[in-house]
């Protein structure tokens, strides 16, 4: 595991964008596993800036997102598809037909989850998976549980996660109760993982994930078993190390 300690969110965003950009330059047909949430926003902004300068070309890239709220579609501003279009895809030359986010409006979630895992396999697996981390240690929407779930699946969001994400909704009642998430298998099968963490609210989760026992109660702790993980975290997120 390679750990980069950076000063703050700005440095974190630059370092993460550097790593993603190196991946795409070295392999223009990369399959990028992407995340939403506040943490990668600065990274995406930096990538857009470099794209505008002509330093990075997304034309042959495929992207596969970690998760989507159940019940929300591309037109919903809180959906993760909308977030990705708005924060990255609309501003770079990625082929939108090769950007994948789980379908939150599916009428057959079981089939949609299976199809998502088949899609990852058909793309040849994920070259670089970008991850944020929940205050409770979740990755994707793999919440603390008694056992790891390998496949893409429907998850009941914890109250902790729903309140953490309530800031994006008008009220707590509007926060979806369920989501579709890539499973721990899909994440762990990525060839390389880039985990980002910023701010004090992530300090305990990062400490537990990197130094605690490997347990599904701290889903990110499984990353200790992955052979190629890069962690980029700021001083506040690393304050308990
Ligand atoms: C988002 C995702 C989540 C977030 C995590 C941290 O696609 O899978 O695991 O990465 O909830 O969210 P932020 O970055 O908003 O603190």
Q: Strand 178-181 relative to strand 67-69: parallel, antiparallel, unpaired?
A: antiparallel
Instruction: Pick the closest to residue 201 from 155, 152, 167, 153 (CA basis).
Output: 167
Which amino acid residue places its CA nearest to atom 4 of ligand 1?
A: 132
Query: 91 an active-site residue?
Result: no
| Other Cβ atoms within 10 Å of 45 Cβ, number | 14
Q: How far is the CA of 138 from the centre of ligand 1 (A)?
A: 8
Residue in 68, 117, 127, 143 annotated catalytic: 143
CATH of domain 2-234: 3.40.50.1360
Which pLDDT belongs to residue 41?
Answer: 98
Residue in 65, 87, 136, 165 annotated catalytic: 136
Which pLDDT belongs to residue 36?
Answer: 98
Strand partners, 192: 128
- The response to whether residue 35 sits with its C-beta less than 6 Å from ligand 1 reads yes
Which pLDDT belongs to residue 79?
Answer: 98
Residue 133 DSSP SS3: coil
Ligand 1, pocket-test mutation among 134, 142, 195, most atoms within 8 A of CB: 134
- The response to whether residue 36 sits with its C-beta less than 6 Å from ligand 1 reads yes
Q: Quick one: how many helices (H) and strands (E) in the chain?
A: 7, 10
Q: Is the ipTM of this complex over 0.95?
A: yes
Which pLDDT belongs to residue 35?
Answer: 98
Query: 138 an active-site residue?
Result: yes
**Could you say which residues of the chain have pLDDT below 70?**
none
Which pLDDT belongs to residue 52?
Answer: 98
Dihedral-angle region of residue 123 (phi above 0 means left; psi in -120 to 50 means alpha; beta otherwise):
alpha
Query: 136 an active-site residue?
Result: yes
Query: Domain-by-domain residue ranges, the chain?
Result: 2-234
Instruction: Pick the closest to residue 67 from 218, 143, 179 (CA basis).
Output: 179
């Amino acid at each position: 595991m390679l750990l980069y300690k950076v000063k703050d969110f700005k440095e974190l965003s630059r370092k993460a964008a550097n790593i993603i950009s190196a991946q795409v330059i070295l392999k223009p047909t990369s399959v990028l596993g992407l995340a939403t949430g506040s943490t990668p926003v600065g990274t995406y902004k930096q990538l857009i800036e470099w794209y505008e300068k002509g330093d990075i070309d997304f034309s042959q890239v495929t992207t596969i997102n970690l998760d989507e709220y159940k019940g929300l579609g591309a037109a919903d501003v809180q959906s993760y598809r909308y977030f990705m279009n708005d924060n990255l895809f609309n501003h770079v030359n990625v082929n939108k037909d090769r950007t994948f986010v789980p379908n939150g409006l599916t009428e057959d979630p079981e089939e949609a989850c299976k199809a998502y895992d088949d899609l990852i396999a058909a793309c040849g697996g994920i070259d670089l998976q970008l991850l944020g981390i929940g205050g409770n240690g979740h990755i994707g929407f793999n919440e603390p549980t008694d056992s790891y779930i390998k496949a893409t699946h429907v998850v009941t969001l914890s109250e902790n996660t729903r309140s953490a994400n309530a800031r994006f909704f008008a009220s707590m009642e509007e926060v979806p109760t369920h989501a579709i998430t890539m499973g721990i298998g899909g994440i762990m099968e990525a060839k390389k993982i880039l985990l980002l963490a910023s701010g004090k609210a992530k300090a305990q989760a990062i400490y537990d994930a990197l130094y605690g026992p490997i347990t599904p109660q701290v889903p990110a702790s499984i990353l200790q078993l992955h052979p190629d993980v890069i962690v980029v975290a700021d001083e506040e997120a690393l304050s308990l190390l």
